[in-house]
Chains A and B, each alone.
Chain A
């Protein structure tokens, strides 16, 4: 069953094995319904609805600068939501993703500062550490067979404690030292945290990275063997293994991909704010997971897309900033956020049900 699914990942319901085209479900469905059945269409409509809503309710949103700001906020969520979504399609999730971002930023900052190195040395060390955290998560999961909830909850707590304790031990403070006057900082800032001018609007480079990564992830998911493996291990691990999918490799590499994402966002934070507070990042993992789920990925795995989480993250940024642009009472801020997100998710669900009903 999962084989049929990963051969044609965009189709929602796993078609029953049988002679093709005889039941009329796959071949003769109208184009519109087939489109609607794609995992990203529901969230796309939700995102459009939210965008239109705030364009009407909050006049400042119509400004180019505002849109750049909303997209910036979305991109810092979205870059992490991508690997988190791929991992989720592969049937697992990662609770350590939020603090992993800060762990990476702390590693880079402290390595460079304490050894008085070019900041790129710190950046590389942080990449190694981030990938190692992903490797550890994946390896523990595969070796022990424990659910990813437990394994990554453990890593979450370890990282949260280590972030604080190591930072305090090394710097004597709970925040890292300012590295903005060190060699290589400007280059690194150009890569991870610069902005450029588009028609008078300052656009953050993270937006570009976000879209590049999304395109890459979509291509990998839909056009490569590795993409098929991800769907297969998320659909049914045992049958995937039976048909020769390297389950262990796929799962571990997905966790390492989340590590890569954490590194990238961590570097953005470091080069954007010069110092890092060791207590940050807690709770962000749920936002990444929420963006992926709103983006059409199932918590149970085996279904989803890479473009869906892009809209999921956009919706998050749009709602969060839209409330401020609208000038609403800030006490209601989180309640608004929750209502909008639930609403969007319901649209998503409704679209998927309508599209797959007949």
Chain B
């Protein structure tokens, strides 16, 4: 007994020493600013909890992995699900064929409702018909504002990308801009193209589009810098996603250009940049609202037979402008990752 405990303690000694050394090292290396410690613990929005029977709803999107925008949509959907006593099944795939299979998967699971994005409406036509045949209510969100009724969806929550682009174009006119460059981070994405087209429609100056490789930030930065050098007349850089706006701001300052940066979509770093003035304004389509309303609408339909938008009109969640005048009100929510 004695011996074994003795040898155990001897074996433990180096371990204890190592742990102590590690702890000391860590303590010595701790950051006095920033980091998790500085982050305020933030509670998500909560509106009590429904006592209706538990239902299951599937949310199937065309999100590609790791995109901050979709993360916010999903958080909105989760908040509504928690409130409505709904079990939320989230799935996603950027390729239309796989997304259609995911919807079929939800039908096979006999869910009580499906919320789906219509980035490629034609590919989803058959599977949405199958859901209706199985008496599962289907609502649309985010993409497909012009197709949702044709496909027979009940309701739609989102932003008309062209309308949002037009709103941004008008805003550029007010700012007195002459020449803008519209930065597309994913060549061939129809929603992104519509935004730039919308800007072109209302903006009285000229707009050029610029394709960048969205999966490689250094290359995004170099390409925008190159464009600013190529055309010194550019006085506004319009990006179509929050992370690219922050990179564009770096390009602008490094290239010594006088151009200003405006963007679609929001995240928490972007609100900081707006209050600092490095980015002028953002068009926010309120992704949290899209996810939240899509799920909540299915609950309302099941429990009270309601149709949002009257079953005729889409429910628009954007364009809502965020600029220096209202950024403070939004920043706290963006910090939680919900705005």
Listed in ascending order, the chain A residues whose CB lies under 8 Å from chain B are 58, 60, 63, 65-66, 69-70, 72-73, 76, 112-121, 160, 163-164, 167-168, 172-175, 177-184, 195, 202, 268-269, 272-275, 277-284, 287, 317, 320-321, 324-327, 330-331, 333-334
Beyond A117-B26, A317-B222, A320-B219, 4 additional contacts (C-beta under 8 Å) are: A115-B36, A118-B29, A163-B66, A277-B67
What would be 19 A-B contacts, judged by CB atoms less than 8 Å apart? A65-B255, A65-B256, A66-B229, A113-B34, A116-B38, A117-B30, A160-B65, A175-B66, A178-B268, A181-B34, A182-B34, A273-B217, A279-B215, A283-B216, A320-B219, A321-B223, A330-B209, A331-B211, A333-B211
B300 on the interface (CB 8 Å rule)? no
Contact of A164 among B30, B65, B216, B267 (CB under 8 A): B65
* A182 lies within 8 A of B218 (CB): no
Which residues does chain B contribute within 8 Å of A118, judged by CB atoms? 29-31
A178, closest chain B residue (CB): B269
* B36 lies within 8 A of A114 (CB): yes
What 3 pairs across the A-B complex have the smallest Cβ distances? A279-B66, A116-B35, A182-B34
* Residue of B31, B36, B256, B268 ringed by the most chain A CB atoms within 10 A: B31
B256-272: contact bitstring with A at CB < 8 Å (1 yes, 0 no)? 10000000000111001
Which residues does chain A contribute within 8 Å of B208, judged by CB atoms? 330
Which residues does chain A contribute within 8 Å of B122, judged by CB atoms? none
Assembled-state Cα–Cα distance A175/B269 (Å): 10
Contact of B26 among A114, A115, A275 (CB under 8 A): A115
Assembled-state Cα–Cα distance A327/B228 (Å): 11
Report the interface size for chain B: residues with CB under 8 A from the other chain: 52
* B66 lies within 8 A of A164 (CB): yes
Which residues does chain B contribute within 8 Å of A66, judged by CB atoms? 226, 229
B142 on the interface (CB 8 Å rule)? no
Which residues does chain A contribute within 8 Å of B246, judged by CB atoms? 273-274
Which residues does chain B contribute within 8 Å of A167, judged by CB atoms? 66
Which residues does chain B contribute within 8 Å of A321, judged by CB atoms? 222-223, 226
Given A60-B230, A116-B36, A178-B269, residue A183 in contact with residue B31 (CB < 8 A): yes
* A76 lies within 8 A of B66 (CB): no
Assembled-state Cα–Cα distance A226/B199 (Å): 58
* A333 lies within 8 A of B222 (CB): no
Assembled-state Cα–Cα distance A69/B220 (Å): 11
B208, closest chain A residue (CB): A330
Contact of A324 among B67, B216, B230 (CB under 8 A): B230
* A324 lies within 8 A of B66 (CB): no
Assembled-state Cα–Cα distance A58/B268 (Å): 38
B210 on the interface (CB 8 Å rule)? yes
* A279 lies within 8 A of B26 (CB): no
B43 on the interface (CB 8 Å rule)? no
Which residues does chain B contribute within 8 Å of A69, judged by CB atoms? 222, 225-226, 229, 255
Contact of A58 among B26, B225, B230, B255 (CB under 8 A): B230
B148-190: contact bitstring with A at CB < 8 Å (1 yes, 0 no)? 0000000000000000000000000000000000001001000
Which residues does chain B contribute within 8 Å of A63, judged by CB atoms? 229
Which residues does chain B contribute within 8 Å of A284, judged by CB atoms? 215-216
Assembled-state Cα–Cα distance A112/B209 (Å): 38
Which residues does chain B contribute within 8 Å of A281, judged by CB atoms? 215-216
Assembled-state Cα–Cα distance A91/B106 (Å): 45
A265, closest chain B residue (CB): B218
Which residues does chain B contribute within 8 Å of A320, judged by CB atoms? 213, 219, 222-223
* B67 lies within 8 A of A65 (CB): no
Min CB distance B196 to A, Å, is 10
* B337 lies within 8 A of A115 (CB): no
Assembled-state Cα–Cα distance A312/B338 (Å): 43
B4 on the interface (CB 8 Å rule)? no
Contact of B30 among A73, A115, A279, A317 (CB under 8 A): A115
Min CB distance A93 to B, Å, is 19
Min CB distance B99 to A, Å, is 17
Assembled-state Cα–Cα distance A66/B213 (Å): 19
Min CB distance A25 to B, Å, is 44
B125 on the interface (CB 8 Å rule)? no
Assembled-state Cα–Cα distance A173/B337 (Å): 7
Assembled-state Cα–Cα distance A275/B229 (Å): 26
Assembled-state Cα–Cα distance A209/B216 (Å): 19
* B269 lies within 8 A of A334 (CB): no
Which residues does chain B contribute within 8 Å of A168, judged by CB atoms? 71
B70, closest chain A residue (CB): A174
* A72 lies within 8 A of B269 (CB): no
* B243 lies within 8 A of A277 (CB): yes
Assembled-state Cα–Cα distance A175/B231 (Å): 32
Min CB distance A258 to B, Å, is 17
B33 on the interface (CB 8 Å rule)? yes
